[in-house]
Amino acid sequence: MMPPLPLAFGIKVHLSILPLLIAATGCASFLPDPALETLPDPSHPEDAALMLQSTPDPLEPLNRFSFAVDEVLFDYAMEPASRGYRKVLPSQARTGIRNFGHNIAYPVRLTSNLLQGEWANAGTETKRFLINTTEGVLGFGDPATKKYQIYLADEDIGQAFGCWGWQPSMYLHIPIFGASSERDLISEAGDVLLDPTSYVYGLHAGIRFNNKTDQVESTRQLLATEFDAYALNKLYFSRKRAIEVSNAQPAMAGENTAQTQTLMTVFNRPHDPEFDDRAEEIAVQPRGFRRPLPASVWKQHSKAPVAYVIPGLGGHRLGSRALALAELAFLEGYHVVCFSNNLNWEFIQAAPANYLPGYLNDDLRYLRQAHAAMAQSLSEQTHGAPGVMGFSMGGWYTLNLAATSAPDTYSAALAINPPLDLTTGLKALDRLYRAPAAAVDLEAVKDSALVKLLISQNSTPDNAADLPFSDQEASYLIGLSYRMTLTQTIMSSLKIRPNVRAYQRVNALCWEDYYSKIVAPALAERNIDSDALAQASNLRTREPGLTAAANLKLVLTSNDFLLTDDDLAWFRKRFPGERTVYSETGGHMGQLWRPEVREAMRAAIRFQTITVSAE
């Protein structure tokens, strides 16, 4: 028996399983991937240049192994320890420790600013250190920010090296320490030497642990919801460090367009910050599925109707927009069930073999099978007809479910900002992605958009206008999110192993490529031609069923870029008056955070007057 290898926090991994772990987490990327070799050529190869680039990753197999080790450490050590720590130590105390650690590391920031010739920033950091050390009581408080509005000039030695021209050439993932590069790993030695906490045993590690405990929820979200958490973590680190080194400043010219209004959808999130934690994960085995399909389920304390929430294009059941809609349904007294969208990796990996999402007949059949399996699982706790509601592509599925079911199948059906023709809507997203293609400085547009996006994460609807987006920036961010989702859909559908080479190939494919060069040929083998595929995409072909669904309502905006003017007029004619919650502005779902829209959506799905505790 080989001796176990101690890693950290008392966890041991036997050396005998390391080859299996390495093969499972990256070394297989050295092998030919037949699925990748059969990919069609992109119709717009220039699209690849629009995708965000990560730091080069020549050690990807080893890095993926290190990331897998970190996942184990997170599951069995970091997350449990953090939850216990957070229960014992209140938020105010944790913030004080974080402030103290940041304040005492003043020599790191001072030195880095001086090395870069940032004299004003060095002076700012000195002022902050003196104020927070005295008035802030050794730095546990931050009056420099809160009282004097003297803001952090946060720099480190790695940023100084970057300013001198050292561009990272090798991404590294170090167990426990996380994402880095050869430049930042070497500079870390300088940071440690300059940080006074390094000279007190356990103090530096203790402060790092304190700071990481407030990142546990976001880390769990990343690991639970992403198809390839390693790649996304690498991309986030790479772009964030590039922005920090370049001190990129966003362009401050803003515009008020459908695209910029759409970005307000980030504020459509649950009002209860712990709502996702209240869900129970239930896996069901729909007929014909390869493996159990998990769902997030929020249960009432007594019997109630069930409402099925369908996320948007490729959305995960724990995405913030899905949670926001689930919360509204729960507050109206429903048991709420949310499966990930058909184009999401979680649904695809559980679905029947060779499933290629996007062909309506298959998508609806598998959705119904999932709903039926959950209905059977919850049969003892439910009564009455179910409700169904979805947004964006989930709204399109909602309309199709209602149109192809008996009129009284659903007690309530709510479709939020759906496209009328799926192909038209997704081609519009491809156009948005290409919006900055002709820009004089493409990288400047990308950086400006990303800086604003990073800064706006902690903003509110009231101050969102303080950081205005241009139409080009907003279009790119919307299109980028969609194309990253499409990449995950293609890779999970075709069982392509994720690695740098695979992403280079798949990132260039657009919806037209997926639909016409991957889905259509597979359907042709089943004697389903392109005309049938086009008809399935267009809701106009199901008009009689739509208008017959008495409990079906829509949420629309006048400037949703997924709809042409004719599409919008078609919807409004067939869903007049109170059958539509209509807004003049908002773009695509950018109005959903508004209190009056939330209340109108609650009223649209209300089956009885009821008061429900969110606890």
Is 50 exceeded by the pLDDT of residue 15? no
Residue 412: partners with Cβ closer than 8 Å, 6 or more residues away = 307, 387, 388, 389, 551, 553, 604, 605, 606, 607
Share of the chain above pLDDT 90, in %: 82
Rounded to the nearest integer, the mean pLDDT of the chain is: 91
Alpha carbon distance 415, 571 (integer Å)? 11
CA 321 vs. chain centroid, Å, equals: 10
Average pLDDT on 294-312 reads: 97
Report the candidate in 498, 528, 287, 539 with the shortest Cα–Cα distance to residue 398: 539
Is 50 exceeded by the pLDDT of residue 588? yes
pLDDT for 610: 39
The SS3 of residue 4 is strand
Burial class (CB in 10 A: 0-12, 13-18, 19+), 119: exposed
For 354-393, b/e burial (b = at least 16 CB within 10 A) is: ebbbbbbebbbebbebbbebbeebbeeebeeebbbbbbbb
Backbone angles phi, psi at 283, to 5 degrees: -100, 130
Residue 326: partners with Cβ closer than 8 Å, 6 or more residues away = 270, 275, 279, 296, 298, 309, 336, 338
Q: Are 419 and 563 in contact (CB under 8 A)?
A: yes
Q: What is the largest CA-CA distance in the chain?
A: 78
pLDDT for 12: 35
pLDDT for 467: 67
Average pLDDT on 571-590 reads: 96
Instruction: Write down all domains in the chain, each with its CATH number in brackets.
Output: 57-227 (no CATH), 268-421+550-605 (3.40.50.1820)
609: number of Cβ within 10 Å? 7
- C-alpha distances in angstroms, 136 versus 126, 132, 146, 195, 219? 14, 4, 11, 19, 31
**For 124-159, how does the pLDDT look when each residue is reduced to its tens digit (9 = 90+)?**
999 999 999 999 999 999 999 999 999 888 899 999
**For 365-406, how does the pLDDT look when each residue is reduced to its tens digit (9 = 90+)?**
999 999 999 999 999 999 999 999 999 999 999 999 999 999
pLDDT for 29: 52
| Res. 254 pLDDT band, cuts 50 70 90 | confident
Backbone angles phi, psi at 228, to 5 degrees: -140, 85
Is 70 exceeded by the pLDDT of residue 53? yes
pLDDT for 380: 94
Is 90 exceeded by the pLDDT of residue 301? yes
Average pLDDT on 458-464 reads: 76
